[in-house]
Structure 1
Amino acid sequence: MIFVEAEVDKDVCIGCGMCPSVCPDVFTMEDDGKAGTLVSEIPNTSEDSAREARDGCPVDAISINE
């Protein structure tokens, strides 16, 4: 079994809110105004939307490790 994980680089994130709007099962906006992850492992049903959030991030703050 392969685990797919998402990570947000808080030093790069500008808090635009795009990632949780595209993939709310994985990403959230945190109290610091920047994005974070809700889960350590991306559910199979959310892998495509998590990749879409990564690809759409305007500052490339999201990485997905497969």
Structure 2
Amino acid sequence: MRVRVDDDICAGHGVCVATCPEVFRLTADGFSEVLVDVVPAEHVEAARTAVEQCPEHAIEMEID
């Protein structure tokens, strides 16, 4: 699984970071970015939850 944050949509709420800090972090500008190319198996469920809970729907998920 891969995830991508749409920089044009992200409002920096940080829900993804709170839900899955192993995959997401906030930049110095306060917006989310993805830390990994492929989400490790042990973090897939948390990453899916982050996608579902993003208030702006700024995270896209791609299943390999």
TM interval, shorter chain, is: over 0.9
Structure-2 separation of matches of 1:15 and 1:40: 21
Aligned length: 63
Name the counterpart of 1:43.
40
Tell me, which stretches of 5 or more residues in structure 1 are unaligned?
A: none
Name the counterpart of 2:21.
24
Instruction: Determine helix, strand or coil for the equivalent of 2:46.
Output: helix
Is 1:12 the counterpart of 2:12? The answer is: no
Structure 1 residue 31: Cα displacement:
1.4
Q: Normalization by structure 2: what TM-score?
A: 0.95
Q: Over the residues paired in the alignment, what is the CA RMSD in angstroms?
A: 0.6
Tell me, which stretches of 5 or more residues in structure 2 are unaligned?
A: none
Name the counterpart of 1:60.
57
Moved over 2 A (4+): none
State the AA in 2 paired with 1:5.
R
Is 1:34 the counterpart of 2:37? The answer is: no
Q: Normalization by structure 1: what TM-score?
A: 0.92
